Amino acid sequence: MRFRRRRSEDPEINLIPFIDVLLVVLIFLMLTTTYSKYAELQITLPTADAERLRERPAEVIVNVTAEGRYLVNSKPVEGRSVDLLALELVSAAAGRTDAVVIVSADAMTAHQAVINVLDAARRAGLGRLTFAAQVPEGATR
């Protein structure tokens, strides 16, 4: 008796049921999604008067040179101690505790010189600090 050998067929993946399930899920998501229409909101926006300028807080600009020397509002500080710098910051702030200290340090300044400015501002009771930076040439804003 001679038996025929069956050819092994490659398995075939039927994609039609998969596509049917995906379409049902898509229809379900489309029907259950709610859309908000913001154009229907009736709001009255506040108006602003650009002519008025609000009062700016007092600014104390501390420049730090590459050698570690300090200038408070373009006035050189004698010596490099934190105590002298704190005294200059107190006199430059003129008793205002809301004054903003702007630290403008040279790129080659030692890190310790900038830390001394931060310490002097803390001792002077000035807690609002910011750093000045320069935008590189060719950079867009």
Indicate whether 28 belongs to any domain.
no
Query: What stretch of H or E contains 18?
Result: helix 16-32
Query: What stretch of H or E contains 71?
Result: strand 70-72
The pLDDT of residue 13 is 83
Task: Let me know: does 46 contact 88? Beta carbons within 8 Å.
Answer: no
Indicate whether 73 belongs to any domain.
yes
The pLDDT of residue 140 is 59
Indicate whether 88 belongs to any domain.
yes
Indicate whether 47 belongs to any domain.
no
Indicate whether 85 belongs to any domain.
yes
Indicate whether 19 belongs to any domain.
no
**Looking at the whole model, is its pTM more than 0.85?**
no
**Tokens 């040279």 found at:** 106
Indicate whether 53 belongs to any domain.
no
Tens-level pLDDT at each residue, the chain (141 residues): 677 777 777 778 889 999 999 999 999 988 888 766 555 545 565 665 555 555 666 888 999 988 888 999 888 888 888 999 999 998 888 877 788 999 988 888 888 999 999 999 999 888 889 888 776 676 655
Q: How far apart are CA 63 and CA 70, in angstroms?
A: 6
Domain residue limits at 86: 59-131
Indicate whether 25 belongs to any domain.
no
The pLDDT of residue 47 is 65
Q: How many CA atoms lie within 13 A of 57 on its CB side?
A: 16
CATH number for 85: 3.30.420.270
Q: How far apart are CA 97 and CA 139, in angstroms?
A: 36
The pLDDT of residue 50 is 57
The number of domains in the chain is 1
